[in-house]
Every structure is written in structure tokens, then in C-alpha cells.
Structure 1
Amino acid sequence: MKKMLAMAVGMFILLSGSVSAHGTTVHPEKNAGITIRVNGVEVKSSANHQSPNGKVYVSVKAFADLFGQTFTVSEGRRTVQFNDKTISDIQMKQGEPTAWIRDLANAVSAQNVSWDKAHQEVYVLALPEGSVKISEVVPAMGEHWANPQAGELPVGPIYGVYDGKLVFLEYMIAQDDFVKGKSLINLRGMKGVPSPAVVQLDAEFQPQGHPGFEAPHYDIHAYFITDEEQQQIK
């Protein structure tokens, strides 16, 4: 773990947790081929569509399924109840309710919604509840996010984010824990949120530790991007 992260753990920046306004609306002429992803996992449904005013609507069922949740539709099909939130901006498409992607993102307390014009992609960053940014971008890694209030640091999970997208999941395990055969059970990880496939794994030994976690330990990163993509992070 880079020194920047260690210093940031003690003085993390508490973010508001509100969804960014960027990327929630696209131009009507760019309707064809739009992809919606949550943490890199595609929300697949033929009901996904773009309205004439440029707003992207997503199948409520497909979105809820990614989070292992259910939803209900009001009589008259005017609102949807999802994750204890009432969503009124819905459109029926192919006989099922679709909702504006930003409303769905807000319902799961997503940290960001962005629009990738080059790839015609809406990307929702939805980390576990309570996750906040604890460092700025570290080269070849990205920002570091975690939940300092949950007592999970320094072990983690720590989430790597770059350009609004999830790039890695990290744990810091003390060497002494391995030597003593200690088991670390039921660490939170990506529980409750969609998780992309792991592409590569790094286990880096820190013999002297570092500020914020001085004990010798291993920094373990499960990357959701390729090594080539990782090295492009500046």
C-alpha cells in the first residue's frame, strides 16, 4: 500500500454520498447501443431504453436482481417501491416497469453515475453503504475508498476507484496473522452489491509496514481490470 493511502486513513474525507449529476442523460441521437453497468456488471434487459428527452431508463427487475432485491409496482403502474424508496419517474416498456437510472442509483445510495460517451455506457458506482473516499488517485491503483466507521481498517475491505469506476478490492493482512494461523472469517468484500470478475491478483509483502499500519503485512489486491489498464492509471 502506498504511503498516500496510509496517511489518508487517519484523515479521510467524508463525502456526501450523493449521486453525481454527470452522465445521467445522453443525447437522443446516441440511443443505439447504450450499455448500463453497475460496478462493471451489465444490467441486461431488452426493456432498457432512452426516452425522447434523452434520459436513460432501465429495467427495474434487472437492476434489482443485481442487488438480490425485490420491488413492487403500485396499482395503476405509476410508482415503484424499491429498497424502501418510492420511484415515480417510471415508464412501462414491454410490459415491465423501467426507471430513470439516476433514481435507481439513488435508491441503492450509489456513489456516482457517469456517462462514457466513447463507449456509449452509463456506469453506476455502487459500493457498500458507508464507503467514502480516503485517498486521491495513487498511480497504477486509483482512489481508495473504505468505511472507516465500521472498524474494518486496516484489514479492509478497501475499494479502488478510478474515473468513477471500480478497479480493485484490497485487504491488508498482518504477517503475524499468517504465522499464527489466524483465520479471518466473513470479511465484507462485495456483499450486497454487484461484483465484476477478478482479472488478476497481487499479494505484496510490506516487511516494514507503513504509516497507518506499521506491522509487517501483505497488501492483497484483487483487480477487476487488466495489468495494462492498471498501468495507465496516473
Structure 2
Amino acid sequence: MKKSTLLLTMLVCSTLIGGSLSASAHSVAPKAAELSVLVNGVPVQSSDNHTWNGKTYVSVAQFAKLFNKTAIVGKDNKSVTFNGKTISNVRLHEGTMTAWIRDLADAVHAQAVTVDATKNEVYVLALPEGTVQITPLVPAMGEHWSNPQAGDLPTGPIYGVYKGKLVFLEYMVAQEDFVAGKNHVNVPGMKGYPSPSVVQFDLEFQEHGHEGFEVPHYDIHAYFISDEEQQKIK
């Protein structure tokens, strides 16, 4: 092959390859994060969860299943009744009934709905009805929530919340109860509500007690996050 022909062939190949790579680089867009819908950190698993007109719609059946409940779809497919609440902001998505997540959250008296656009994530904090925040944020723990009106204090349950997400479940038991061999049975917890897996468990003795329970006692924490994540709470 003549030198001029060889140079021309190399130039053409270089141009084609370069053009191909350049076109590929400009045509590949970052993949959008898949929609994630969580209740207390537990996923609402359904391919029918979707966003429409800026609102997140979730499979009614799968959402209800997390609470061991069922939902009744209206005969006209224009409403659904769930947990005693009739919801009209619904959509049929490929034959599956979906409803606006905030209406579903209201039906279970959820305390908060947090949207993280960067992660394409919707998080529903759903604790027993009447549960309210009782302390500000505590470093390496989070806010403390409970239902004083239901007599949950001081024993518990006490729910740890950080940025609208459930991070721990706590109980407090007086030292004298252990010494006396006292039983604490059927203490309420997450029954009837979605609960994530326990990642770590702390049992700490408070020799002088602390605000809210001023006697020697044990603080029992079941954390749903890792120790590394816990230490970042400030």
C-alpha cells in the first residue's frame, strides 16, 4: 500500500472512531434514579408506583398490605376506601389502582411524608396514632417521639426519628424492676405498622437516670441504622 493511501486510510478510521465516541458521549444521559417509596424504611414494592403531574401515586393494594389491611376499590374505579377513609385522588395504572401517597399516608395517620428529589424517594413516617415529638434532636440519636396520652412513658415505646425517618425503637426499664424480677409483657411496639430490620442493639445503664426518667434504669435501643450512620446524626 502506498504511503499516501495508508495515511488517508488512517485518517478516515481515526475520524470515524473519534466521531463515534464523541456522538456516544453526547447521547448518553445520566439514568434517572428509580422511584422508591418507603414506609418506615420498608419498600412499597410495585412496578405501578409512578409520578404523574408532580404527584407520586402508589399501588393501593401493596401499601395496604404493609399494614395487614385491605382496600376496597369503588365500582366505578374512581375511588378507593382504605382504613375507613375514602380516597378519590386515584389512577388506574396498567389495570392496577393507585392513589396519591399523601392521601394514603393520611389514612394511616402518618406523622410525615418526606420527598427527596435527588434520590427520587418518598418516605412515609407512620407511627401509632397519637405519637408526637417529645424531645429536640439528640446527637447520635435523633428526635424522640412517643404517645404520653396512651401511657407509653416512661417504659416506652419511644421512637427515634431523624429528618423524618425512623431510626430506632427504645424502651426504658427501672433497675429495681430487674432486681425484683418484674416482668414487662405485651409492651406495645410496631405491631400493625411496617418495621425495618434491626441493625444493632444497645443496652445502656443510666446510673442516675436522666430527664424524663430520673431513677436508675436501663435504656434499650433497637437501631434500624448502622453505627456509622448513627454517629453522623448531629
Q: TM-score, normalised by structure 1?
A: 0.85
Question: What residue is the counterpart of 1:88 in the other structure?
Answer: 88
Question: What residue is the counterpart of 2:57 in the other structure?
Answer: 57
Deviations 1:45-104 (CA, angstroms, capped at 9, x unpaired): 1111111x1211000000000000111011111100000000001011122210010110
Question: What residue is the counterpart of 2:48 in the other structure?
Answer: 47
Q: Contact conserved, 1:128 with 1:191, CA < 8 A, in 2?
A: no
After superposition, residues 124-163 of structure 1 pair within 5 angstroms as: 124-163=124-163
Question: What residue is the counterpart of 2:228 in the other structure?
Answer: 228
After TM superposition, the structure 1 stretch with the greater mean CA deviation from structure 2, 93-102 or 77-86, is 93-102
Question: What residue is the counterpart of 2:209 in the other structure?
Answer: 209
Question: What residue is the counterpart of 1:33 in the other structure?
Answer: 34
Question: What residue is the counterpart of 1:175 in the other structure?
Answer: 175
Q: 1:179 Cα shift?
A: 1.3
Question: What residue is the counterpart of 1:119 in the other structure?
Answer: 119
Aligned residue pairs, count = 205
Any gaps of 5 or more consecutive residues in structure 2?
A: 1-30
Any gaps of 5 or more consecutive residues in structure 1?
A: 1-29
Question: What residue is the counterpart of 1:198 in the other structure?
Answer: 198
SS of aligned partner of 1:135: coil
**Residue 104 in 1 paired to residue 104 in 2?**
yes
Question: What residue is the counterpart of 2:71 in the other structure?
Answer: 71
Does the C-alpha gap of structure 1 residues 92 and 31 become closer, same or farther in structure 2, counting only changes over 3 Å? farther
Does the C-alpha gap of structure 1 residues 181 and 206 become closer, same or farther in structure 2, counting only changes over 3 Å? same
Q: Contact conserved, 2:33 with 2:119, CA < 8 A, in 1?
A: no
Q: After TM superposition, where is structure 1 displaced by more than 4 Å over at least 4 residues in a row?
A: none
Q: Which has the larger radius of gyration?
A: 2
Deviations 1:120-154 (CA, angstroms, capped at 9, x unpaired): 11000001111000011000000000000011200
Q: Contact conserved, 1:31 with 1:50, CA < 8 A, in 2?
A: no
After TM superposition, the structure 1 stretch with the greater mean CA deviation from structure 2, 175-184 or 217-226, is 175-184
Q: 1:31 Cα shift?
A: 6.9
Give the % identical residues: 65
Question: Which is richer in helix?
Answer: 2
Letter in 2 for 1:230: Q
Letter in 2 for 1:40: G
Counterpart-to-counterpart distance in 2, 1:73 and 1:44: 19
Deviations 1:142-193 (CA, angstroms, capped at 9, x unpaired): 0000000011200000000000100000000111111111111111111221
Counterpart-to-counterpart distance in 2, 1:179 and 1:135: 29
Deviations 1:9-45 (CA, angstroms, capped at 9, x unpaired): xxxxxxxxxxxxxxxxxxxxx9751100000000001
Q: CA RMSD in A?
A: 1.4
Letter in 1 for 2:224: F
Letter in 1 for 2:225: I
Question: What residue is the counterpart of 1:7 in the other structure?
Answer: none
Letter in 1 for 2:41: G
Q: TM-score, normalised by structure 2?
A: 0.85
Counterpart-to-counterpart distance in 1, 2:106 and 2:39: 13
